[in-house]
């Protein structure tokens, strides 16, 4: 009787540990916490792991905005709870979980200070980010055409050229090629950190937005060699998962 019981305990413990945890080599994270699943307001901080293993807040907390409908589980480095509702294209919710942080896309006239290993794309009329589920081989990918966007489909998928809020965009790797087995068509696309609208009075369509100085400060501090991630959760979920997920 003892062996089955021990085996059961081991299986339960293994499932808890594998459910989600930060990458072992991650020592930098942007943490976002909201009051609840339906909140579009988020508190953001940048934390770093010191040599002694302690996490220290470097920037924040500062206020940001999320999707107009709040949050929902996304596709990232974590495993979602069984039966959980997950992010869908056009649902107006920001993906929750743990996500790698990707490259930089800009149209802003003032250069964005960033680590030399963070790739930057100067967005122009040839750049698309595909959110059309009817194009599975292109879904949630950046594409650069060999000509300026001109067809109705190309213009619809074209990255914004003159929108201040999108003049600085840092990729949140939800449902992207950076996550094994992704992207899943229809599971949400084009999720970024970007500048907020109306000084924070407006929510987003699913991204995380904040004041331009705060966004610039976070980008300037990010170091790809520290494998930074974005942790976004309702506050109660963060508290519940902090220990099993080994969160800062």
Q: Is 232 left (phi over 0), alpha (psi -120 to 50) or beta?
A: beta
Domain residue extents for the chain: 25-101+168-241
Q: CA 135, CA 5: separation in Å to the nearest integer?
A: 49
* E strand map for 93-199: 93-106, 120-122, 127-129, 142-144, 168-172, 192-195
pLDDT tens by residue, the chain, 248 residues: 444 433 333 333 333 334 567 888 999 999 999 999 999 999 999 999 999 999 999 999 999 999 999 999 999 999 899 999 999 999 999 999 999 999 999 999 999 999 999 999 999 999 999 999 999 999 999 999 999 999 999 999 999 999 999 999 999 999 998 666 679 999 999 999 999 999 999 999 999 999 999 999 999 999 999 999 999 999 999 999 999 999 99
Residue 151 CA to residue 87 CA, distance in Å, equals 29
pLDDT of residue 15: 37
Half-sphere exposure of 87 (CA within 13 A, CB side): 29
pTM listed for this prediction: 0.90
CA distance linking residue 211 with residue 217, whole number of Å = 10
> Residue 212 — φ and ψ, nearest 5°?
-55, -45
């Amino acid at each position: 009787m003892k062996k089955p019981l021990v085996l059961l305990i081991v299986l339960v413990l293994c499932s808890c540990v594998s459910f989600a945890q930060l990458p072992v080599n991650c020592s930098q994270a942007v943490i976002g916490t909201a009051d609840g699943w339906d909140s579009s307001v988020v508190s953001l901080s940048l934390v770093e792991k010191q040599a002694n293993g302690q996490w220290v807040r470097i920037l924040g907390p500062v206020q940001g905005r999320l999707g107009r409908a709040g949050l929902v589980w996304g596709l990232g480095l974590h495993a979602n709870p069984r039966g959980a509702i997950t992010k869908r294209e056009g649902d107006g919710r920001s993906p929750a979980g743990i996500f790698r942080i990707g490259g930089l896309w800009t149209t802003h006239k003032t250069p964005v200070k960033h680590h030399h290993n963070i790739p930057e794309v100067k967005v122009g009329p040839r750049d698309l980010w595909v959110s059309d589920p009817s194009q599975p081989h292109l879904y949630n990918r950046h594409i650069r055409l060999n000509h300026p966007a001109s067809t109705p489909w190309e213009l619809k998928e074209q990255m914004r050229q003159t929108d201040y809020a999108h003049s600085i965009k840092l990729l949140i790797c939800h449902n992207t090629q950076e996550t094994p087995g992704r992207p899943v068509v229809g599971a949400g696309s084009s999720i970024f950190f970007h500048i907020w609208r109306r000084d924070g009075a407006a929510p987003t369509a699913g991204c995380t937005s904040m004041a331009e100085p705060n966004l610039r400060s976070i980008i300037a501090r990010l170091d790809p060699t520290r494998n930074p991630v974005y942790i976004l959760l309702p506050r109660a979920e963060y508290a519940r998962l902090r220990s099993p997920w080994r969160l800062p």
